[in-house]
Structure 1
Amino acid sequence: MEEREIKDFYFEWQQRLHSLVEGYLYDGEKKLLPTRSIFSEFKNTLERFISNRLEEHEKIILLPGIRGVGKTTLLLQILKIEKLISPADYFLLENLKKIEEIIYIDASFFKLNNISLNDFFNFYQHLNDFIFENLQKKIVLLLDEIHYDENWGLFLKSIFDSTKSHNNILVIATGSSAISLRMNPDLSRRVTIKEVFPLKFTEYLNIKHKIFPAAQLSEELKEIIFNSTKAEGVYKELNNRKSQIEKLSLNISSKIRQDYFETGGFPFTIKISRKTDAIELVKNVINSIIVKDIIPLKTFKTETISKINSLIFLLAGSGKISFEKLQQSLRIPEFRTLDSLMEVLVMSGLLVKVPSLGKSYVPARKTPRFLFISPTLRSAILDNFFSSDQEGTKLEDYFALLYQKDLKNKMSSELAYDISDGGADFILTGKDRKKVIIETGFGKEEVSQVLNTQKKVNGKYGLVFGSRDLTMVEDFTVKIPLEYLMLI
């Protein structure tokens, strides 16, 4: 494309961007929408970028994540960060001007106009009279839906290689095709991957109901519940915060919690009053994964692709289901085909794989558990119809989200489940390699599952989430009301 055409397009894009930003940053009353916790992480990233403290691999940050979790909103909030920082962000207030420009590009829109990222940024360098190799000013590139550019991996590799001599560029890129972002071979060891997850309950309270738990409460609860040395310490520290949590819980009705499980996992459902409409939009997320992420891989036959919705429904309706039963129900003859399909659904961000206790995963018949990355996904698939046996899977999905977002690689090195009958839902292995045994459920008072699993793993303590009262049982197990878990 001629430079003149790119120039005309660029100025048209700048005009369109204003109305785009308005729609993402403000509500119907022109009030700024709340930010999520990940926005605070990027405030810290910008501070370190300004002060030249980013590591080499942090120059390019990729943001995979299941469709609909708010990646575009996050980029546009970073674009207009000056509107969203408070007096507490004194470093950014004083130094934000050191960033010469923050530019936002939607690669899908550029694709429609036959403009590649490489062509555009060649034009952009010429327009601003610089080249990336010897950039003398700080620039942030926000690249949305980057996977729409066929050569996006090579483009980012080129940016990385050409800017090794300085710290003046920061690239933050999203892709709704989480599979593509994870599979690109050009970016090994050159990027930082920071996944964007569905909403936790505390984020839902913030955005939907303007309820703001104390900023440090979540971190304190995580440390107490999952990183104590023994059950007595968990019980004592939680008991010290009992009045604080009970007071906060007075503003959180059971309906609020139910609404969260059913439709509250995704930011785009927050403003939708009819649950049936919200459910259909969540189902569209799943359909988009199949059509836009899995089919383009050209890995599976049409007959296999046609069975994905049935596979997802079977997983949603079952607590534990074996590969053998899935193969029989779906009539997929090859184990490897089913196994590959499950792995792709994990890579897409839809599912979380939890291996069975004591088994490092190999393509064998011992089926891992596959949980959904948000209970809202399972609720949508089942149209909010849960049998009494299925209700507990909402909490298992929620714990999978907590693990992926807050515990994995931070406080824990592994999550597993006890495959045997009467075993616990989860075994969490800490950084110290010691295990915490976990059971979840609504109105959960029974501790036998925890004790059964303890006979095999010699854990440091057990947790039962869902009890009426905070209680310690036999110096090993702490029964914890659900509100403690939900406020993490």
Structure 2
Amino acid sequence: MNSPNNKLAEDINSKARVFVQNQLTISEARLKGYVFERPNWAYPKRFAYYRVEKYIKDFLLRKIRERYVAIPGLSGTGKTTILAQIFMTFRNRLKDRHILYISLEQAATAGASLQDVFDAYEHILGISFEKLEDPILLLIDEVHQDKDWTRTIKSLYDRTTKIFVVFSGSSAVSIQIEKYDLARRTFFEKLYPLSFCEFLMLKNNHFPDKKLKEELKEALYFSPSAKEAYEKLNRLSERVNAQWKVIDRNDVSLYLDTGTLPYTLKSKLADQVKILETVSQMMDKIINTDIQQIGRFDVNTLSKIKPLLFVLADTNTMSVNRCSEALGITNVTLNLILDTLTQAELIIRVPALGLAGKIARKEAKYLFMTPAIRVALSVITGSDGTTMMRRGYQLEDIVGLHFYREFVAPGFGLLAYDRTQGGADFILSIRGNGKIAFEVGLGHKSGKQANATQKRVKTKYGVTISDSALLLDEDNSSLHLPLDYFLLI
């Protein structure tokens, strides 16, 4: 007679087998919705897709030994879409049943762990992973939904060289990979909210001039002086203007509001109210699920996160003492929440540069990883801030995201702001290339903030990003960069 434990194990195995068999049967039909807007018309692919595709092709050609690709990122940035596109690309290039897509969120609902899924898959294949002769591609979505996923993935790596795994999850995945020594076995393809060029590509099928982006980036960040930066940028003006001749100016406003999240561009979500509702739901999911992967807060502390985000939506800087008092929590708890939100990449922390030119521990400003979150929060609270002020904060979010993606996250630079009166919005320190002070704003800006910080902190030069024309200041220490140029980088 079977023991209760054996009976339970049999039930789990049976459920897992049914789940995996269903995925093998219905995944193609289900994932088509992520890949095609209508029959024979596919959504354009993000740059990250092509890098992941190359890793898989190299594996199939036996050019690389690494067999894992991690796609961590904020909810709503398109991770599932990339997995779906990969599935559609390779489904006919592998043997029958040798490509499997699974969502661990759905697996959990079916009562199956990742290990249960692997056991069931082996049973369905009729061969142990160790004895595989032909390659298999596993696509695992929402991997962080299984608390033991790191151990299970690591064990699989040691069992076979025939399985290539692409897995997506929250930003906490990066932390867990480092903790369990998976980093040396894994390619990282972190997925961020859309750049403006990616936004145009997905929305309008407008493909950017990639070489222009690199030349703009080189001129703006790696020139030895403001004068040389200006001259290089000026030589690119005709190509910049040519790009903007085919861009709808109204798309800039859409991008600043919600266009950084790819799912908001689908025609089914054309209603802005519905879009903001989905952003709010996404935010709640991050707080209740993703945040707990990092912080493990109690119910009372967790309930303070949304009110804190409302505070941050109305300003970039805040007093820790006043905010903790208003929320009814200690400074220690508030800082722990802010650190966790930063690790979850819901917000970007920009520390203050003090009077002595050193980073101030207590003061920081916080930007949202996507301005769509700021907009959704402002709509909920009915914020009475001026449109220009809110737009200014949203633009700072966009600029902060760009600096974070291009320099901070990959370890190429550090970001701060000048907290002195009339100081610059950003001070970007680029490894091996000095510092640059940035002032950011809509309309026409004087450039005083960038100039003041450039002189006080002794940066290479100052840059004012605004609607002004491309100009070099009289003393050759700062330049004005049109937003048109910046958005193409």
Deviation at 1:370, TM superposition (A): 1.0
Deviation at 1:448, TM superposition (A): 1.5
**SS class of match (2:420):** coil
Question: For 1:233 and 1:130, how far apart are their aligned partners in 2?
Answer: 64
8 A Cα contact 1:50 1:99, kept in partner: no
8 A Cα contact 1:319 1:390, kept in partner: no
Matches within 5 A, 1:219-258: 219-258=214-253
**SS class of match (2:112):** coil
Matches within 5 A, 1:258-277: 258-270=253-265, 271=267, 272-277=269-274
Of 147, 152, 164, 1:150 maps to 147
Alignment correspondent of 1:87? none
Matches within 5 A, 1:361-380: 364=361, 366-380=362-376
Can you list the C-alpha shifts for 1:409-451, whole angstroms capped at 9, x where unaligned? 5583211111211111111111205111111111233121112
Deviation at 1:331, TM superposition (A): 2.6
1:63 matched to 2:71: yes
Paired amino acid for 2:59? F
Paired amino acid for 2:242? K
Quickly say closer, same or farther: Cα 1:304–1:123, change in 2 above 3 A: closer
Alignment correspondent of 2:180? 186
Paired amino acid for 1:79? F
Q: Percent identity?
A: 30
Alignment correspondent of 1:440? 440
Can you list the C-alpha shifts for 1:69-126, whole angstroms capped at 9, x where unaligned? 111111111111259xxxxxxxxx9xx6699943211112222222222232233334
**SS class of match (2:315):** coil
Alignment correspondent of 2:89? 81
Alignment correspondent of 1:174? 168
Quickly say closer, same or farther: Cα 1:99–1:18, change in 2 above 3 A: closer
Alignment correspondent of 1:43? 53
Alignment correspondent of 1:122? 119
Alignment correspondent of 1:392? 392
1:413 matched to 2:413: yes
Unmatched runs of 5 consecutive residues or more in structure 2: 1-8
Deviation at 1:188, TM superposition (A): 5.0
Question: For 1:459 and 1:52, how far apart are their aligned partners in 2?
Answer: 47
Q: TM-score, normalised by structure 2?
A: 0.88
Alignment correspondent of 1:282? 279
Question: For 2:56 and 2:476, how far apart are their aligned partners in 1?
Answer: 46
Quickly say closer, same or farther: Cα 1:54–1:419, change in 2 above 3 A: farther
1:26 matched to 2:28: no
8 A Cα contact 1:444 1:465, kept in partner: no
1:382 matched to 2:363: no
Alignment correspondent of 2:341? 345
Question: For 2:205 and 2:199, how far apart are their aligned partners in 1?
Answer: 9
**SS class of match (1:66):** coil
Quickly say closer, same or farther: Cα 1:219–1:40, change in 2 above 3 A: farther
Deviation at 1:6, TM superposition (A): 4.1
Question: For 1:289 and 1:409, how far apart are their aligned partners in 2?
Answer: 20
Can you list the C-alpha shifts for 1:309-366, whole angstroms capped at 9, x where unaligned? 211011110132121232233232x2110011011111222101112225457xx4x2
**SS class of match (1:423):** coil
Question: For 1:298 and 1:241, how far apart are their aligned partners in 2?
Answer: 46
Alignment correspondent of 1:329? 326
8 A Cα contact 2:350 2:366, kept in partner: yes
Alignment correspondent of 1:471? 471
Deviates more, 1:64-73 or 1:231-240: 231-240
1:355 matched to 2:356: no
Deviation at 1:482, TM superposition (A): 0.4
Of 303, 312, 316, 2:300 maps to 303
Question: For 2:152 and 2:134, how far apart are their aligned partners in 1?
Answer: 20
**SS class of match (2:37):** coil
Deviation at 1:242, TM superposition (A): 0.8
Deviates more, 1:8-17 or 1:107-116: 8-17
CA RMSD across the alignment: 2.7
Deviation at 1:402, TM superposition (A): 1.1
Can you list the C-alpha shifts for 1:110-159, whole angstroms capped at 9, x where unaligned? 22222222232233334435544464433221111112223211101212
Question: For 1:375 and 1:4, how far apart are their aligned partners in 2?
Answer: 45
Quickly say closer, same or farther: Cα 1:464–1:98, change in 2 above 3 A: farther
Paired amino acid for 1:196? L
Deviates more, 1:46-55 or 1:390-399: 46-55
**SS class of match (2:348):** strand
Matches within 5 A, 1:193-204: 193-204=188-199
Quickly say closer, same or farther: Cα 1:188–1:21, change in 2 above 3 A: closer
Paired amino acid for 2:422? G
Question: For 1:446 and 1:99, how far apart are their aligned partners in 2?
Answer: 64
Deviation at 1:380, TM superposition (A): 1.6
8 A Cα contact 1:352 1:372, kept in partner: yes
Can you list the C-alpha shifts for 1:24-58, whole angstroms capped at 9, x where unaligned? 111035411111111122123223323444364xx
Paired amino acid for 1:408? V
Quickly say closer, same or farther: Cα 1:29–1:6, change in 2 above 3 A: closer
8 A Cα contact 2:171 2:343, kept in partner: yes
Quickly say closer, same or farther: Cα 1:98–1:244, change in 2 above 3 A: farther
Quickly say closer, same or farther: Cα 1:328–1:217, change in 2 above 3 A: same
Paired amino acid for 1:254? R
1:103 matched to 2:100: yes
8 A Cα contact 1:461 1:476, kept in partner: yes
Q: TM-score, normalised by structure 1?
A: 0.88
**SS class of match (1:248):** helix
Question: For 2:137 and 2:39, how far apart are their aligned partners in 1?
Answer: 30
Aligned length: 467
Unmatched runs of 5 consecutive residues or more in structure 1: 84-92
**SS class of match (1:219):** helix
Deviation at 1:195, TM superposition (A): 1.9
Paired amino acid for 1:76? A
Question: For 2:271 and 2:22, how far apart are their aligned partners in 1?
Answer: 37
Alignment correspondent of 1:90? none
